[in-house]
Chain A
Amino acid sequence: MILSATARPHPPAAAVSPAKAQIAFSHVTLDLGGKTIIEDVSLDVKPGEFLCIIGASGCGKTTALRLAAGLYQPTSGDVTFDGASMRAPRRDVAIVFQDYGKALLPWRTAAGNVSLALETIGMPASQRPARIDELLHKVGLPNHAGKYPAEMSGGMQQRLQIARCLAQEPKALLMDEPFGALDAMTRQGLQDEVLELVAASGATVIFVTHDLEEAIYLGDRVIGLLPHPGRIGIELTIDLPRPRDQLTTREQPEFLRLRRELFDFIKASEA
C-alpha cells in the first residue's frame, strides 16, 4: 500500500514548477531546541488549492503550518508566498488556531472581535458595522454580534475566529486542527461551511488535521507526514467530485479506498 502510494497519480511536489505555487517550501528544515522537527520538506501549494496535512501526533504538522504562517523561520531552506520569503506573518495569510478560546479577545463581543481585524487593516469606523454584519452573517452568527465569547458554544467561537480571519481578506487560510475540539455533528456542519466559504473566496487553504476522513472530505490533496523528524511520507490527490456531500461523498468507493490508504500509512508510520 505504502509503496503504491508514492507512485500515485501526481509526481512529488518538488517537481511542480515553483512559478505556479502560491505557498512553496523548498528543502525546509527546522531545528528547535537542538531537535530536528522538520527535515528537508519541499512542497508547493497552488493558488486556490485545498491542501490537507495529516500525520501521527508529534509528526510536526502544526510546525509545518507555523512555518507556512511565518511564525517560525526555517533553519535552512526557504518558505515563500507568491515568490517572497516568509520572514514574518503576513496580513493576507490568516491563521485559524485550534484553541479558539485563547485566540479570541474575551473582553470584546463577537462584533468587537471581528472589528479588531478591520481596525488593524485601517477600515474607517463608519464602514465597519456593515462589514462586521456581513462577515458574521457569512459564518452563521447573524444574531450574536453583541455576545461575548464566553457566552458562545465552541462551534460558535470557532466560527467567530473564522469570521475574524475572513475580515483580513486573506489570499490563504492556514487552519490548525480547527475542528479538533468540536463534537462530530458541529464538525461536519463546519466542514461544509468552510468548503463553501473557501469556494466563494477562492482562497488557498492549508488544513492540518488528525482526522483522516476530514482530510479526504475537504482536500484537493492530502499530504501525510512521517514523524521524527517530520518529513513527507505520502501524497494523495483527491479526485472526488465537488461539491462534496457528507453522506454520498463518504460512501464512494474512492473515498473508502483513500481512507484505507491513509489509515495504513498512519499505522505504518507509528510502528
Chain B
Amino acid sequence: MNPALLMWRAASFLVAAGFVGLWQLVANLKLVSPVFLPGPDRAWASLVRGFTSGDLLAKTIGTLEHMAYGWLLASIVGIALGAMIGSSKAMRSYVAPSLEFLRPLPVSAIIPVAIALFGLTQGMALFVIAFGAIWPMLLATVHGFAAVEPRLYEVARSLHMSRLAVIFKIALPSASPDIISGMRLSLTVALILAVVCEILAGLDGLGYWVLLSARAFRSADLFAGVILLGAIGYVTAQAMSMVEQRLLRWRTSGH
C-alpha cells in the first residue's frame, strides 16, 4: 500500500474514532438521558455480553438467513427473468411497461398484501425481501443482456455456437458487470427489508431484538443491535465488492 493511501486510511479512522469519542462525551455529560442514549462503552459491553452469554449470535444468524434467502431467491429469479426479457426485443417491448409500473411501487405497500397472503410467517418475509431485492438485479440484467455487442452474436453465429453456449459464454459474461452491480444494490435492500419484516412479523432476528430492547428501555441492547446491523451491511457490501473485483478483473486491467 502506498503512503498516500495509508494516510487517507489513517485519517478516515481518525474521523470515525472522533465520532465515537463525541458520542462518549455526550453520554458522559448526560446531555441525553442514559435511558435513551447509552455511551459506546455500555453498548460495547452489551454487545460482548449478548454474544458470550445471550442469544445475540442466534439473532444475527436469524437476520442473515432472512437476508440471504430473500436475496438469493431474488438473484435467481431476477437474473433468469432479466435474461429472458433482455435477450428478446419483443419481450422487452411487451414487458417493459409492466415493469415500469411495478418498479417504483414502494415495497412497504406490498407488505400488507404479503401478510394477507402468507400470514406472519417466514414465507411472508421471504416474499417481501425477494420482491424488494429483485428490481435492481432484474433491471440491470435486462440492460446487460440488451447491451451485448451485436458483433459478438455474429461471431457466435459464424462459430455455430449453441443457444446455451451463447448465453453462458457470451451474454452472461458480457452482462456480468451490470448484474453484479445490481446484486450489490439488492444486498442493501434485502437487509433493510429483513429488519422490517422481523419487526412487523415478530420473526427471530436482530430487527425484532432491537424493537423489544427499545420497548423495554434497554438502550444499550438497542444500540448493540443497531451496531450489529450496521456491521452486517458493511461486511456484506465489502464482500460483494471483493467478489466484483475478482470477477471483473478484465475490466480494470489494461492500459
CB-based contact A95/B154 at 8 Å: yes
Name the CB-closest residue of A to B177.
Answer: A107
Closest 10 A-B residue pairs measured CB to CB?
A: A150-B254, A102-B151, A89-B158, A120-B159, A107-B250, A107-B173, A148-B250, A89-B157, A91-B160, A102-B149
The minimal Cβ–Cβ distance linking B248 to chain A, given in whole angstroms, is 8
The minimal Cβ–Cβ distance linking A154 to chain B, given in whole angstroms, is 12
92-151 of chain A: CB within 8 A of chain B: 93-95, 97, 99, 102-103, 105-108, 116-117, 119-121, 148, 150-151
With an 8 A cutoff between CB atoms, is B152 at the interface?
yes
CB-based contact A116/B169 at 8 Å: yes
The minimal Cβ–Cβ distance linking B224 to chain A, given in whole angstroms, is 43
Q: List 13 A-B contacts (CB under 8 A).
A: A71-B154, A89-B157, A89-B158, A103-B151, A103-B152, A103-B154, A105-B174, A107-B251, A108-B173, A119-B165, A119-B169, A150-B253, A168-B158
With an 8 A cutoff between CB atoms, is A88 at the interface?
yes
Known: A105-B170, A116-B169. A148 touches B159 (CB 8 A): no
- Measured in the bound complex, the distance between the Cα atoms of B159 and A69 in whole Å is 11
The minimal Cβ–Cβ distance linking A162 to chain B, given in whole angstroms, is 13
Per-residue 0/1 for B236-254: is the Cβ within 8 Å of any A Cβ (1 yes, 0 no)? 0000000000001011011
Q: Residues of B within 8 Å of A, CB-based: how many?
A: 22
10 further A-B pairs in the complex, CB-CB below 8 A; given A102-B151, A121-B159: A71-B157, A89-B158, A90-B160, A105-B170, A107-B251, A108-B173, A117-B159, A119-B169, A148-B253, A150-B255
- Measured in the bound complex, the distance between the Cα atoms of B169 and A124 in whole Å is 17
- Measured in the bound complex, the distance between the Cα atoms of B177 and A106 in whole Å is 12
CB-based contact B158/A95 at 8 Å: yes
Per-residue 0/1 for A59-98: is the Cβ within 8 Å of any B Cβ (1 yes, 0 no)? 0000000000101000000000000000011110111010
- Measured in the bound complex, the distance between the Cα atoms of B155 and A89 in whole Å is 10
Q: Which of B155, B158, B251 has the most CB of A within 10 A?
A: B158
Q: Which of A69, A71, A88, A150 has the most CB of B within 10 A?
A: A150
The minimal Cβ–Cβ distance linking A93 to chain B, given in whole angstroms, is 7
Query: Contacting B165 at CB < 8 Å: which of A99, A120, A168?
Result: A120
B contact patch SS: helix
The minimal Cβ–Cβ distance linking B169 to chain A, given in whole angstroms, is 7
CB-based contact A89/B160 at 8 Å: yes
34-78 of chain A: CB within 8 A of chain B: 69, 71
Name the CB-closest residue of A to B154.
Answer: A71
Query: Contacting A120 at CB < 8 Å: which of B161, B174, B253, B255?
Result: B161
Set of chain B residues within 8 Å of A90, measured between Cβ atoms: 158, 160
Known: A148-B250, A148-B254. A105 touches B152 (CB 8 A): yes
Query: Contacting B173 at CB < 8 Å: which of A69, A97, A105?
Result: A105
- Measured in the bound complex, the distance between the Cα atoms of B157 and A102 in whole Å is 15
Set of chain A residues within 8 Å of B149, measured between Cβ atoms: 102
With an 8 A cutoff between CB atoms, is B176 at the interface?
yes
Name the CB-closest residue of B to A98.
Answer: B151
The minimal Cβ–Cβ distance linking B85 to chain A, given in whole angstroms, is 22
Q: Which of B149, B161, B250 has the most CB of A within 10 A?
A: B250
Known: A107-B250, A116-B169. A69 touches B158 (CB 8 A): yes
Name the CB-closest residue of A to B150.
Answer: A102
- Measured in the bound complex, the distance between the Cα atoms of B150 and A102 in whole Å is 9
- Measured in the bound complex, the distance between the Cα atoms of B251 and A148 in whole Å is 9
The minimal Cβ–Cβ distance linking B83 to chain A, given in whole angstroms, is 17
Set of chain A residues within 8 Å of B248, measured between Cβ atoms: 107
Set of chain B residues within 8 Å of A106, measured between Cβ atoms: 250-251
139-196 of chain B: CB within 8 A of chain A: 149, 151-152, 154-155, 157-161, 165, 169-170, 173-174, 176
